[in-house]
Amino acid sequence: MMAGDRIARNRFKTAEGRFHLHTERTTGLQPFNYQRSTRLTLANLQGGQEDGQWIVFNVGDCINICSYDATNKEPYRALLFNNSQVRTGYPTCHAFMAAKDNVDLLVGLGDGQVMLMSLRAQLQATGYPSKPIVISTLQPEGVSETIRCTAVAWVPRTDSSLFVAAYSSGNIYVYKKSHLTGEGSGKFLSLGSSSKSQSPSSTIAISGGGINDVAVSPDGRQLAAACRDGALRVIDVSTGTVVGGFCSYYGALLCCAFSPDGKYVATGGEDDLVAVYGIQERYPVVHGEGHRSWVSRVVWDPWAGSEPGIGSRAGLSERLAPSTRIYRLGSAGQDCQLCLWDVQAPGEGDLNSSAAMLAQMSMLGGIKRNGSMANLVSGRGDGPPSAALHDRKASLGKSSSGICPSLPRMDMYIIQPIMEHKIHLEPMSDLLFTEEVIFTVDHTGSIRTWLRPPMDGPME
Domains of the chain: 11-451 (2.130.10.10)
Query: Could you give the maximum distance between any two Cα atoms of the chain, in Å?
Result: 66
What is the pLDDT averaged over residues 246-274?
A: 97
* Size (the chain), residues: 460
Average pLDDT over residues 106-123: 96
Give the count of beta carbons closer than 10 Å to the beta carbon of residue 183: 17
Task: Report, in angstroms and rounded to the nearest whole number, the Rg of the chain calculated over CA atoms.
Answer: 22
Question: Is the pLDDT confidence value at 216 over 60?
Answer: yes
Q: How would you class 140 by CB atoms within 10 Å of its CB: exposed for 0-12, middle for 13-18, buried for 19 or more?
A: buried
- Mean per-residue pLDDT for 204-230? 94
Q: pLDDT category, 378, cuts 50, 70, 90? A: very low
| Average pLDDT of the chain, as a whole number | 83
Per DSSP, what are the bridge partners of residue 91?
Answer: 109
Helix (H, G, I), strand (E, B) or coil at 374: helix
Q: Please state the pTM of the whole predicted model.
A: 0.85
CB atoms within 10 A of CB 201: 10
pLDDT tens column, 77-86: 999 997 665 5
| pLDDT for res 424 | 97
- What's the pLDDT tens digit per position in 287-314? 999 999 999 999 999 999 777 645 455 4
Q: What percent of the chain has pLDDT over 70?
A: 77
